[in-house]
Structures are given as C-alpha cells and as structure tokens.
Amino acid sequence: MADRTPVALAADALSEGGSPLLTYYDEATGERVELTAPELGRWAARSASLLRDGCGLGPGSRVAVLLPPHWRTAAVLIGAWSVGMAVSFRPRATAGLPVLEPGGDRPYDAVFVTPERLDDWLEDVPEGVHRYLVGTGPGPLADVPVGWLDWSSEVLRHTDTPPDYTAVRPWDPASPDGTSYGAWRRLATEIAEQLDLRAGDRLLVDAAEHEQPLKWLLAPLAAGASVVICANLAPARRDARIAAEQPTRVL
C-alpha cells in the first residue's frame, strides 16, 4: 500500500519466522551472526525500550546513528524508527562534526557511534545527550570513556516486548531535515525495484561500499528479501564469500 511506512515494513518482516532475515559476516575476524526475524525483532524491541524508557525519548526526538552496516545497526535503526524518531544516518560529511543538522536549532537527543569513530564525537556532544558506543565485535566493550555507555550492555536491561509499530504515521518526520516516513518508504521501494529485489531473494552487501541503510536494510525489507552483510570483504575473497552464502543478488 502507498501509505506503508518503513516501520510497517519492519513489523511485517519481523513477524516472519524460520530462515535468517539478516546475516553478518566479518572477513577479518571470522565472526558470523545469523538472526531470524524474531531474533532481530527482539533486539530492535530492546533498542526501542532503551530509547523510550531508558532515555525518555519519543516521536520527534533526534537520533544520530553513525554506524556501519551491521546487525546491531539494524537493531538500533529499527528500534528508533518504531518509536517515531527522526534519525540521521550520516550527520557529518567531512571532518569537523557539527552537533546541529544544517539549518537545525537543536542538538541530537541521542548518539550511537562505533569506537573507531569516537574521536569525531568525543569533544562535540553537549551535556544532556544520551551517548552510546556500539561495538562491531562479539561481546561487550572493554573500555568505554566517561560520559558514554556500551549499547550491548545497556540494551539487555530493557524489555524485548515489541512496541506499537502502528503508532508511526507516514507524514511523521523520519529525519531531522523533515523527510517523512512515507518518503523513506517510497525511496526504499524504488531502490528495491532498481536492484530487482523480490520476495525470497538473498542480498549480499559489501559493507564498505554501501553504508546507506536505505540500500542494505530498508530496500530488502520493502521487497521481502533477506540480507547478508559482509564486512572487511577483500576483493580476493569476494567470489568465495558469494559461493559460501549463495545470494541471489549482490550489491
């Protein structure tokens, strides 16, 4: 339907059981995580609860997610979307991170960043902003700076009861620049069509080449496809990874 939002697409996808919805593989470490729809849904629900109940945030709150393609990134994004937050995927384009969006007059209410990108944020996030480090390896982080929290530890303190996915409306702002949830849904559908993604497809994504969640997360959700995220995918290993994962589409 034309009025479907990314939240509704996620809710549909997360209601399906059985085969993996999202697979994450790191060529550098050999880590492989495979999540069914209900498993990803529980992580997303905990993320929503962390933002809503732990941070006191809700519809219209501004969230910056400076994270690479990863199963934890999917959980953070779906969690933020499910409670109607305005999410910025890449709040900076060059060195020197602005706390405000261009033309904005409010700081972010929450920030999610990897330890590798922490230096961009360490001195630039004002007091009162909820700050989370999201590791891309297994387990909790061993070293977290003062003023920041480890997402993987904090999220487990919260319930995995699914939020009310129907509460987000197509005209609600999905990003700080005012782009609506309905517009995101249309973009995701267009990208899925450009990629010729269909229900049941398995999309393999090179994480280093495609950080935009519209491509590696929302487009597959819109098409009813599953996704395999490959981090640190060396060109010499690409064919071997494709043979091992057996995708129907490669991005």
- Convert the pLDDT of each residue in 200-239 to its tens digit: 899 999 998 888 898 899 999 888 899 999 999 988 888 9
Beta sheet of 86-88, edge-to-edge order: 86-88, 62-66, 110-113, 130-133, 149-150
pLDDT of residue 4: 55
Residue 3 has pLDDT above 70, yes or no: no
pLDDT score for 169: 83
Count of C-beta atoms within a 10 Å radius of residue 200 = 11
For the chain, the helix, strand and coil percentages under 3-state DSSP, each to the nearest 5: 35, 20, 45
For residue 185, pLDDT over 80 is answered with yes
Residue 41, pLDDT score = 87
pLDDT at residue 168, rounded to an integer: 81
Q: Is the CA virtual torsion 152, 43, 92, 235 positive or negative? A: positive
- Tell me, what's the pLDDT at 98? 39
pLDDT of residue 23: 95
Average pLDDT, whole number, for the chain? 83
- CB of 215 within 8 A of CB of 169? no
Q: What band does 103 get if pLDDT is binned at 50, 70 and 90?
A: very low
Inform me whether the pLDDT recorded for 95 exceeds 50: no
Reply yes or no on domain 6-92+101-233+240-244 having CATH 3.40.50.12780. yes
What is the pLDDT, as a whole number, of residue 26?
93
Average pLDDT over residues 127-140: 86
Percentage of residues of the chain with pLDDT beyond 90: 41
Distances in Å between the alpha carbon of 185 and those of 16, 71, 73, 100, 188?
20, 20, 18, 25, 5
Looking at the predicted structure, is the pLDDT value of residue 93 above 80?
Answer: no
Q: Which residue has the higher pLDDT, 129 or 7?
A: 129
Q: What band does 22 get if pLDDT is binned at 50, 70 and 90?
A: very high
Q: 15-19, 29-33, 92-96, 175-179 — which is least confidently predicted?
A: 92-96
In whole angstroms, give the CA distance from residue 195 to residue 249.
8
Q: How many CA atoms lie within 13 A of 247 on its CB side?
A: 25
